[in-house]
Amino acid sequence: MTSVSPVTGHASPGGPGPRRPLHRFLFGLGLGLLAVTVPGDRVPVRRLDRAFAAHAAARHPVVAAALAQVSPDAVLIMGNSHAELAGAGALACGPLVNAGLAGAQAAEITAFLAGLPVTRPARLGILIVGTNDILRTATPLSSAARARFSAEVAASLARLGGQTRSLRVAAVPPIGRDAVGKRDPAAVAVYSEILRGLCRAPTCRFVDPFAVLRADEPGLARPGALSDTVHLADYPAMLNALDLCPAERQRPPGSEASASGVSR
């Protein structure tokens, strides 16, 4: 089991299980990060801290095992702590497979999933990213940072497109007022628009499952929406807002529509 720190957004591994050697994992992750850098990039590269590296190494075999069991009717959720905290289990229309990595930025998500192929494409893929990319230390509103984020997400979508039959990309969630010293709330809308522009129909749909959580002040969450400075108080509500199951499959069992097996 893992627990996500409400302060850092990182998760701490717990329980026994096979682990890929940490230095080998970090070497592979570093190569993945280099692969999606932008020529002439002047954005400071975040040094992987020990807590995040340990959690990524612990999550690697867990996610690998989950991806090996992906079924054609599965929903695959990927991204940062908002994805990981969404959990896994059974939806009304099939299994929810969790490949989230708490604390990850866009490039780290791509690198993390690079060595984890899906045995068969999932029906739907969900990508939630951006909260860890708007750190003030990365000057997120600079043209270089925005270009880098765009390139990194484009790389993620290119990879994920081959692992799912359709994609849904979420807007960047709002942050708490106490997170403003570390993250730039003005970047929430800017990075959400970058995500919208990268997600093109008919195979990709941009959604905002956090719309009702947003305060009038740009980038900030309304009171009670979060459990800490960045994490949501209600992740089941987020999954519901993502509209993961076709309407036909949400009808009571025995109805003509639910028996038809229609999917999208």
What tens digit of pLDDT does each residue of 41-58 get?
A: 555 555 667 899 999 999
Q: Please report whether residue 256 resides in a domain.
A: no
Taking alpha carbons only, the member of 127, 229, 214, 122 closest to residue 183 is 229
* 221 in Cβ contact with 228 (< 8 Å): no
* d(C-alpha 200, C-alpha 79), whole Å: 19
Write out pLDDT tens, residues 199-225: 988 899 999 999 999 999 999 999 999
Is the residue at 32 inside a domain?
A: yes
Our count of domains for the chain comes to: 1
Residue 128 domain flag? yes
pLDDT value of residue 116: 85
In three-state secondary structure terms, 239 is: helix
CATH code of the domain in which 107 resides: 3.40.50.1110
DSSP-derived secondary structure letter, 226: B
Asked, for residue 260, whether it belongs to a domain, the answer is no
Range of the domain at 209: 21-38+46-246
What's the rounded Cα separation, in Å, for the pair 13 and 56? 9
pLDDT score, position 118: 83
Give 151-193 pLDDT, tens digit per residue: 999 998 988 888 899 999 999 999 999 999 999 999 999 999 9
Residue 59 within a domain:
yes
Q: Is residue 255 part of a domain?
A: no
Q: Are strands 94-100 and 167-170 parallel, antiparallel or unpaired?
A: unpaired
Kindly state whether residue 261 falls inside one of the protein's structural domains: no
CA 179 and chain centroid, separation: 19
Establish if 259 belongs to a structural domain: no
User: What is the spatial distance between Cα 9 and Cα 84, in angstroms, rounded to a whole number?
Assistant: 11
Report the distance separating Cα 248 and Cα 262, nearest Å: 7
